[in-house]
Amino acid sequence: MSDTVIQVENLSKKYIIGHQQQERYTALRDVMANGAKSLGQRLLKPWGKQSANSAYEEFWALKDVSFEVKQGDRIGIIGRNGAGKSTLLKILSRITEPTTGRIRIKGRVASLLEVGTGFHPELTGRENIYLNGAILGMSKAEIKRKFDEIVDFAGIEKFLDTPVKRYSSGMYVRLAFAVAAHLEPEILIVDEVLAVGDAVFQKKCLGKMEDVAKQGRTVLFVSHNMQAISTLTHNCLLLSKGQCVYWGNTEGGITEYLREGCNEELVYTDLPSDFEPRITRVELHTSEPNNTQIHGEPMEVHFEITTPVPIDGASLSFQAYNSLQQPILHLWIFDSELPMCREAGKFDLICRISKMRLYMDRYILKVHFSERAGGDKFQTIENICPFEVVMYGRSREFEWRSGTCAYLEESEWQIKKLQPSKI
């Protein structure tokens, strides 16, 4: 259709990666022998596949990825490290070519993929602004019109005539983002580089990207920050091992992303150690089966600790993280409050929550186990015991909406009629 600005069909990217032989050193005779052997193999099998003993193998960073982006869409691209996100952006930015598949892009593309992309280190900040504008196909007059706005946003006026190779990573990113966002590209592609900046700058960048999208331009945004993804984007693409495993609304994509990264076992178990204290079991007792918890009902978290030695002032705490990976709940117990693990053995600990008032969402637990403050830290266990808080049988005039709040507090309302005012 005419409003489609990016169309990706069966996109794949292959790399040939090498494996270094496990040798302590390589003699000159080995180099010569291996070189002659390699040459002989190429002469005998110039187009054949690599042998089983080859030091090289094929690695598919992307495999048969297809999607379509409309003008003005705000698309999040998410996935674990190594999923293929950066490779996809490099292909869309025309930095590298695909192995197979086809891409159609309509419009001017500005990319901010990593610190240093698109800047010449020997040129000054001023010169790089004009250089990037020229690469985007803008005239000198157009760049000049936006110049002061770019410098003000980046906050690098003092260093405008300094070669960018002397910039800190934060200064570099501020200027690079300001150039990419202000020179009016039809498509803005931003990778995780915003993690380099401070919190104030990140908020400023997210606001600018939202402004860009409201102007009808297209934004592709890669981040591990689910809060930023949920705020900025409406739809998202989830990559896993080079393949597209989800394409749809952002909320559903975040749910799939978190499910992919957490331990799907509802109960966490581990083997005891002969040398150090260890949490050997964590189990939720929710109000409903399959780790489903009705809002307002009791819930328990059971812990089993096995220790071969006495612990000097044991401490156990756990946090509940929501679907945006934000810590919402934090509870703890110390030996000074209740005696625990003062001698070797196995111990059961139960945390009872009389009314679980977390708002409806999906949650995971993170557990911390240590000695008293300043002592040994035994364990931090992440992404375990996933559970979901639901609100069955409850309705309101404006319905329940995800993302409305973190938890609901008990309260009472009082309404009093005042005397009508005299007009």
User: Nearest to residue 303, comparing CAs of 289, 286, 285, 291?
Assistant: 285
Cα three-residue angle 60-62-63, rounded to 5 degrees? 85
What are the CA-CA distances from residue 219 to residues 79, 115, 141, 204, 216 (Å)?
17, 19, 25, 16, 10
Length of the chain as a residue count: 423
Distance CA 72, CA 219 (A): 7
For residues 103 and 144, the answer to whether their CB atoms sit within 8 Å is no
Answer yes or no: are the C-beta atoms of 142 and 179 closer than 8 Å: no
pLDDT at 1: 47
pLDDT, tens digit, for every residue of 147-163? 998 898 888 888 999 99
Given the candidates 3.40.50.300, 2.70.50.60, 3.90.1150.10, 1.10.645.10, the CATH classification of the domain at 267-390 is 2.70.50.60
Residue entry with tokens 């990264």 = 261
Q: What is the amino acid identity at position 357? A: R
Name the residue among 384, 383, 382, 367 with its Cα closest to residue 315.
367
CB under 8 Å to 203, separation ≥6 — which residues? Answer: none
Average pLDDT for consecutive 10-residue bins of the chain (423 residues)?
84 81 58 65 54 69 93 90 89 90 88 70 90 80 89 88 86 82 83 66 77 84 79 88 92 77 75 93 89 90 95 93 89 92 94 92 93 86 90 57 76 81 64
In the chain, what are the domain boundaries? 4-9+61-261, 267-390
Backbone dihedral angles phi then psi of residue 393, each to the nearest 5 degrees: 75, 10
Handedness of CA 70, 72, 78, 84 (dihedral sign): positive
The pLDDT score that the predictor gives to residue 243 is 93
List b or e across 352-386, with b for residues whose CB sees 16 or more CB atoms inside 10 angstroms.
eeeebbbbbbbbbbbbbbbbeeeeeebeebebbbb
pLDDT of residue 100: 93
* 205 φ/ψ angles, rounded to the nearest 5 degrees: -65, -45
Q: Do domains 4-9+61-261 and 267-390 have the same CATH topology?
A: no
**Reported pTM:** 0.61
C-beta of residue 110 within 8 angstroms of C-beta of residue 181: yes
Report the alpha-carbon angle 277-281-282, nearest 5: 115
State how far the Cα of 259 lies from the Cα of 246, in Å rounded to an integer: 12
**Domain topology for 4-9+61-261:** Rossmann fold (3.40.50)
pLDDT of residue 48: 47
